[in-house]
Structure 1
Amino acid sequence: MQRTLYIVRHAKAEDRASFQRDHDRELIPEGIIAAARIGRYLKERSVRADCIVSSTAPRARDTARVVAEQIGYDVDQIRQDPDLFDGGPKAYLAAVNALPDTCTTAFIVGHNPDVSYFAEFLTHQNVGSMSKGAVVAVRFEDLNWAEVSGRTGHIDFQMAPKQLSNE
């Protein structure tokens, strides 16, 4: 069975203020628009989600919500994983390995550099530094989520909001 993981970097957030924790930064309007643009792009490609896992940081959580709304996924079903904030690529792998096998199409929404490293770890393909709001689709053949590891996936496509026209 084929499984697809959509790795999404959170969209553009407010700059960090001296009194604000990095975890607590919110999306700015430009980021909301970019997340909606990526979500609409995925909907046009007939992408649906069975599972969405997001970092607990507001900028990642809200990116996940905007994308979910665009593709018709119930935002109340988004699972938040606190380990995806500063947990490193190992936290992303643990989140993917814990996905239920009933889920064939999953999203994971988080932070750079972890998401970029994670995509490259899974595929052994050059992803570069994912821009804010970007998505990388990684396909796995004949693997359960628990079997996903380094070099087991292949990139189907990579898209950033800046690559999409202002519709």
Structure 2
Amino acid sequence: MSRILYIVRHAKAEDRAIFMADHDRELTSEGIIAAARMGRYLRDQDVRPDVIISSTAFRAKDTAKVLAEQLSYDPAQIRLSPDLFDGGPKAYMAAVNALADDTSSAMIVGHNPDVSYFAEFLTHENVGSMSKGAVIAVSFEDLTWAEISSRTGSITFRIAPKQLPGEK
């Protein structure tokens, strides 16, 4: 069975302020718009994740919600994982390895540099630094989610908000 994982970096968030915890930073209006455009693009590409997992940070949760709405996925079904906030790539791997075998596609929404490192770990391809709101699709052939590990996937596509059709 073929499986696909959509790795998403949260969209643009407000700058960190002295009085605000990093976890509580919210999306800017520009970030909300970019996430909605990305969601519409993904929907037009027939992306239909069975599961969406997100960090509990406001900016990641909000990105996941906007994407879910565009993809006709019930936002109330988004799985929140506190480990994805500052948990490192190991936390992302644990979330993926725990997915049910009947899941064929999943989306995970988190933070840089972890999402970039995670994509590189899975594919052994040079991803660099994912831009805000970017999505990398990684496919896996004939593996269960529990069997996925280093160098087992290949990048199917990658796209950033600035690359969307109609963007300057």
Please, what TM-score do these two structures have when normalized by structure 1?
A: 0.98
Quick one: distance in 2 between partners of 1:101 and 1:39? 25
Amino acid at match of 1:94: A
C-alpha displacement of 1:134: 0.1
Following the alignment from structure 2 to structure 1, what is the Cα–Cα distance between the partners of residues 49 and 90? 23
Measure, in 2, the Cα distance between the counterparts of 1:135 and 1:85.
18
Question: Map of 1:1-167 to 2, 5 A cutoff?
Answer: 1-164=1-164, 165-166=166-167
4+ runs deviating over 4 angstroms: none
**Number of equivalences:** 167
Identity of aligned residues (%): 73
Measure the CA separation in 2 of the matches of 1:50 and 1:163: 25
For structure 1, the residue ranges without an aligned partner over 5 or more in a row are: none
What's the Cα RMSD here?
A: 1.0
Following superposition, the deviation at residue 76 of structure 1 comes to 0.6
**Displacement after TM superposition at 1:166 (Å):** 4.0
CA distance in 2, matches of 1:17, 1:97: 35
Offset from partner CA, 1:92-135 (integer Å, 9 cap, x none) = 00000011111111000000000000000000011110000000
Aligned to 1:112, the other structure's residue is in SS state coil
Supply the distance in 2 between the matched residues of 1:43 and 1:30 (Cα, whole angstroms).
20
What is the alpha-carbon distance in structure 2 between the residues aligned to residue 159 and residue 93 of structure 1? 22
> Which amino acid is 1:24 matched to?
D
Letter in 2 for 1:136: I
How far apart, in 2, do the equivalents of 1:138 and 1:49 lie? 13
SS in structure 1 at match of 2:106: strand
TM-score by length of 2: 0.98
